[in-house]
Homo-oligomer: A and B are copies of this chain.
Amino acid sequence: MINEELIRHLKAARGQFVSGEELSRLLGVSRTAIWKHIEELRQAGYRVEAVRRAGYRLVAAPDRLYPVELQDGLATKRFGREAVYFDAIASTQNEAHRRAEAGAPEGLVVIADVQTGGRGRLGRSWHSPPETGIWMSLVLRPDVPLPRVPQLTLVAAVSLADTLAACTGLSVGIKWPNDLLAGGRKVCGILTELAAEADRVHYVILGIGLNVNQTEEDFPPELRARAGSLAMAAGRSFSRVALAQRMLEGLEADYDDYLQKGFAPFKRRWEARAVSLGQRVVARTPGGDFVGIARGIDDDGALLLEQANGALRKIYSADLDL
């Protein structure tokens, strides 16, 4: 457990020393307790210099998605203002479901450094090793009809693609429905889950898995041909904290826009980033494989596939081979 108040006081000193006596007074605990808290910060990855008579000085914060770091410089009103962090958890998605059921507000994020049972679309697993990625689940409570929920996945994909392109300089494409590609490989997956009644959405959990700083060796061999990271595509590493902040800011702005203005502008933005439009693709669906030219998406979020006979088939659930 890190003492967030202590971190905030050390940060407020902007690299200057704060005496143990003052920290003791500010936190209302003994100087021995301060020393103990400083040790805990070091365990958590903070570099803190301690100098007799001068006190303590924060040299560097770790690039870990602790709420106190995520929220330091986060320019959102709701998204991420409540955040819970786990060094390791089975699945941030499951934890977010539990909290949403229990009444968690819109904007809560659940983040973990490692997921031991990370989940992807269609019941698949998601590889979530430590110290390298952003594994994050966001609670939404959109007042939209159930048939519109798949649009949220596409809105999120567009929003994240724009943010990642802006933060990294990479060309980021979208493969239907919501895989983000950079350097020809999948770097980000989005899992949208929901609980609803037929005429009311109770909540949506937007799960985001972003590979940030992995090297090729960090991926299991069977994933290497298709999976990559931002670092692999860009040839440099990125701050996970800064990326998560920009992602949440972009998502909040785009989500609010979507609720106010509807799907049309996002449909255009989505189609502009889509890597498959106009191309021949194979859609592998539960009901069989369909071959055709990807022509766009419709208001259900379905992919419009032009088949050999010219007919447009709506694809709701599939894996796409490009």
A interface secondary structure, majority:
mixed
- Which residues of B lie under 8 Å from residue A300 when comparing CB positions? 145, 147
Question: Does A152 reach chain B (CB closer than 8 Å)?
Answer: yes
Q: How many chain A residues touch B (Cβ–Cβ < 8 Å)?
A: 32
By beta carbon, the residue of chain B nearest A151 is: B198
Q: How many copies does the complex hold?
A: 2
- Which residues of B lie under 8 Å from residue A153 when comparing CB positions? 198-199
A192 to B150, CA, bound (A): 19
Question: Does A191 reach chain B (CB closer than 8 Å)?
Answer: yes
Question: Does A90 reach chain B (CB closer than 8 Å)?
Answer: no
Interface residues of A (CB under 8 A from B): 121-123, 143, 145-150, 152-153, 177-178, 191-200, 286-287, 300-302, 316-318
Taking A121-B200, A143-B286, A145-B317 as known contacts, 9 extra A-B pairs with beta carbons closer than 8 A to each other, sorted by chain A number, are A122-B200, A145-B300, A145-B316, A146-B149, A147-B147, A147-B148, A152-B198, A193-B197, A194-B194
Can you show 11 pairs from A to B with CB atoms below 8 A apart? A121-B200, A145-B300, A145-B316, A193-B195, A193-B196, A194-B194, A195-B195, A196-B196, A199-B301, A199-B316, A199-B317
CB pair A194–B193 under 8 Å, yes or no, is: no
